[in-house]
Amino acid sequence: MANPEKAAAVAEIADQFRESSGAVLTEYRGLSVKQLQELRRALGDSATYAVAKNSLTKIAAEQAGVELDESLLVGPTAIAFITGDAVEAAKGLRNFSKDNTSLVVKGGIVDGQPLTIDDFKRLADLESREVLLSKLAGGMQASLSRAASLFNAPLSQAARAAAALRDKAEQDPSVLAGGETTGAGAAEDTDGSMDGTDDADGADDSSDSTDSTDSTDSTTQTHE
């Protein structure tokens, strides 16, 4: 391949293979220049789209270390090099082909793996990265809100209970002194029990005194 122009073209295609995460090979026969421009706009930042000769594409893939199925290199070929979201690129190609049937997806390679027509269709049916991230962010926000509710509810209930106890204590200080009152009452009951025991001892002493008097009287009567 002595032609400098072909060598430059091969080098450019090889660089595109290296710098992209994948490549979708299409047949563009019948598309006008205007339609090709519309397709590039439809792809946006997700992919670049360029017409390439099959022979040069084969050499460029080999130089870039990309294993490309040679059956894809048949007929007029244009390649969508994926530089952004692969799902968005697949959606752009699929949606454009619905309105422009001249665009035919042949297959390709994504992340080093072969991409068949069925794989391409499944890829186009997936939700884009932005949509998935949005849903993930929404789910995380909802989870955080639920967690905040769970944490805040017990705290607010505890605060209300503490405020109610404080108000009640201001109106009736004995609420906070209830434990001390109970203790004093218990002490008084204990003293009362002790006093009762003393009374019983006094009764026993009286009984003993009476018995002693009776004995003395009996002794006096005997002497008489």
CATH number at residue 18: 3.30.70.1730
91 with 179, same domain? Answer: no
104 with 132, same domain? Answer: no
46 with 150, same domain? Answer: no
Instruction: Give domain status of residue 222, yes or no.
Output: no
Q: Write down which residue in 126, 155, 174 finishes a domain.
A: 126
pLDDT tens by residue, 15-56: 999 999 999 999 999 999 999 999 999 999 999 999 999 999
Q: Is 56 helix (H, G, I), strand (E, B) or coil?
A: helix
19 with 118, same domain? Answer: yes
User: DSSP E strands: which ranges in 71-123?
Assistant: 77-82, 104-110, 113-115
43 with 142, same domain? Answer: no
23 with 78, same domain? Answer: yes
Q: What is the number of other CB atoms lying within 10 angstroms of the CB of residue 99?
A: 10
Instruction: Give domain status of residue 14, yes or no.
Output: yes
* Alpha carbon distance 22, 40 (integer Å): 16
100 with 80, same domain? Answer: yes
Instruction: Give domain status of residue 208, yes or no.
Output: no
Instruction: Give domain status of residue 194, yes or no.
Output: no
Q: Please, what's the b/e burial string for 136-168 (b: 16 or more CB within 10 A of its CB; e: otherwise)?
A: eeeeeeeeeeeeeeeeeeeeeeeeeeeeeeeee
Domain, as residue range, for 26: 4-126
User: Which range (73-87, 106-120, 132-146, 163-177) has the least confidence?
Assistant: 132-146
Q: What is the DSSP letter of 21?
A: S
136 with 170, same domain? Answer: yes
43 with 96, same domain? Answer: yes
Tally of structural domains, the chain: 2
98 with 169, same domain? Answer: no
Contact yes or no for 29/85 (Cβ under 8 A): no
pLDDT tens by residue, 176-220: 555 444 444 444 444 444 444 444 444 444 444 444 444 444 443
120 with 181, same domain? Answer: no
Instruction: Give domain status of residue 215, yes or no.
Output: no
Q: Report whether pLDDT(173) > 50.
A: yes
76 with 156, same domain? Answer: no
